[in-house]
Chains A and B, each alone.
Chain A
Amino acid sequence: MSGNIWVVAALCRGRLLDATYEAVALGRELAENLGTKLEVLLLGHELKDVLGTLGIADAVLCVEHAALADPVPEVHAHVVARLAGTRHPQAILVPQTNVTWELGSLVAGELGVPYVNSCTELRMVEQTLEAHTVLYGGKVEAIVRTKHAPSIFGLVSGVRAVEKGYADHAPATERITEVDVQPTSVQLRRYLEPEAGDIDISKEEVLVGVGRGIETRDNLEVSKELADVLGGAICGSRPVIDQGWLPLSRQVGKSGATVKPKLYIAAGISGAPEHVEGMKGSGLIIAINSDPQAPIFQVAHYGIVAKLLDVLPALTEAIRSRSRRGMKQYA
């Protein structure tokens, strides 16, 4: 096998998303491993501002065209597929952000080549690319191999540290302005800004996160009480927001906020990759879940297998009585 490694950059409104650097870091390792080059594919319009941090790659292929200004997946995918058809990369890595969600699969569909999504690891083994992928909300990991060149890999958030793919200089840049733009029946109309919440959860030092395990809206009260005694706020995983029990501004994860509080208590949250990407940087993570196999226990520092309605009130009470004792000491 020969051919370069490609990373397709994920851009949101002209800004590179962190997942791009993570993919670059993994792509760099793979390129070394294979003795080949790492190229970043940057698609858009008026892109010069974002090149300065991609120096970990050997080169950037900067594909600029007015038709690529908006993130219309089928238009971008067609351009990537056409370029791949003439330049024959060995593997195409696509960070799986919401913006690039459809991209890898549409390119694979158009080229008739394999696509592996949710990859956490990628390397060459016995002349074959081997990918680790997560299934079942993070509860199972599978290893798949593909000999096909190119194969396309969707990367879960966090495959590598952002810093490993980030440079303070630009790599060699090749500008490609002649592209085969496909007519599309999809048009971006406007962006809908995130609604400002009553609080900004990314600024809180203590967060009590609740998931589907909370079961009812009324049960939120126990998590509120715990957040109150800790001087923090509550937030939630997607099902809790989808149920309308908490506003969208309190969602943590891929489609919501990224938070890094000093303390994150995850109660009744399974720890699916899309949630974990939003809270894994927290200082201290404590997980309470009735399922001993829940993937959240792989990212938490401390874990408790129990029903959250048993543990949360007990914890609230224990903190209250400690602070009462503490006050007596000083009295």
Chain B
Amino acid sequence: MKIVVLLKMVPDVVEELEIAPDGKSLDTTYLRMILNDSDNHALEEALLLKERHGGKVCLLAPDAPEVDDALFAALAKGADRAVKIAGIDAAEGTRAVVARIVQALSTADLLPADLILTGAQAIDDLDGLVAPLLAQTLRWSHLSVVNQVRFDASTGVTTVTKEFPGGLRAEFEIKLPAVLGIQSAEKPPRYVPVAKVRAAMKSLQIDSTTVPIAAGMPALEIQSMAKPSAAGHAEMLEGLPEAVAGKLCDVLAAHGLL
């Protein structure tokens, strides 16, 4: 089974986020970039499929700060090849980004493939179009919010489980090739020791490919960005833990909860 996993670096939202002086973007000065959470799950699902059915897992990611660390970590976990796409600029808009990804898939020799796995959503997106547009461009099928991919080698049938509301799930049979948005892998993403990542850095390499700009496709225009206005905001309780605990008890008692 040949699987391509799309990876994207996004700001770590546990850190403080500041708006840049232009009022339309994030201030990148102190941003810590990490792999988008659901992309990590997409990678895990791909590695699980490879372990069960053999094949290759190739990673494709736009060049970005700290992306090498993420790609080497993924190689150390068992991915076979990593390719960076130089020069992708998200400000070009998703259609242009997808056009570049499609070109990179061919210039880097990643097609044909059976599956392209992406994260179900990148936390910095405006339109969530990457996976669906990619599927439509390639004329492959598409499902998202997926949390299990099963391949039955004896029948050649692939089934995909998608989350529905309230804990309900739906199982679909899907013909490959397909682009799937992975929400969660079947197992928590594996841990890889730093020593193994270092070893991968020494012995393995990351390929790079350049693709021309896809012109003429307008992006959504951001007028402004802001931290949400505190329409509703909690009453904050301050003090040492014991003092705060005391105040909380008063609140609970006032609500008849003690």
Contacts and interface: CB of A to CB of B under 8 A. Distances in A.
Interface of A: 12, 17, 71-74, 97-99, 101-102, 105-106, 108-110, 114-117, 130, 133-146, 154, 184-195, 206, 230, 238-239, 242-244, 248-249, 251, 254-258, 262-263, 270, 283-287, 291, 293, 295, 297-306, 310-311, 314-315, 317-319, 322-323
B163 interface: yes
A109 to B, nearest CB: 5
Contact of A135 (B123, B168, B188): B123
The 3 nearest A-B residue pairs measured at CB? A194-B167, A303-B234, A185-B175
A74 B228 contact: no
Contact of A140 (B184, B225, B232): B225
Contacts of A106: 132, 136, 142
A12 B222 CA distance: 34
B145 A188 contact: no
Contact of A17 (B133, B165, B183, B236): B165
By DSSP majority rule, is chain B's interface helix, strand, loop, or mixed? mixed
A304 B141 contact: no
Interface of B: 11, 13-14, 16-17, 19, 24, 26, 37, 41, 120, 123-129, 132-133, 136, 141-145, 159, 161-175, 178, 181, 183-184, 187-188, 220-238, 241-242, 244-246, 248-249, 251-253, 255, 257-258
Nearest to B157: A189
A298 B234 CA distance: 6
A298 B228 contact: yes
Contacts of B141: 74, 184-186
Q: Which of A192, A193, A249, A254 has most chain B Cβ within 10 Å?
A: A192
Given A191-B169, A284-B255, A310-B241, 8 more contacts: A130-B223, A251-B167, A262-B255, A263-B252, A302-B234, A311-B241, A314-B244, A318-B248
Given A136-B123, A304-B244, A189 B171 contact: yes
9 contacts: A74-B141, A106-B136, A116-B220, A117-B125, A117-B126, A140-B227, A186-B141, A189-B159, A302-B248
A105 B14 CA distance: 28
A75 B184 CA distance: 24
A66 B214 CA distance: 40
A68 to B, nearest CB: 15
Contacts of B173: 186-187, 189
Nearest to A147: B221
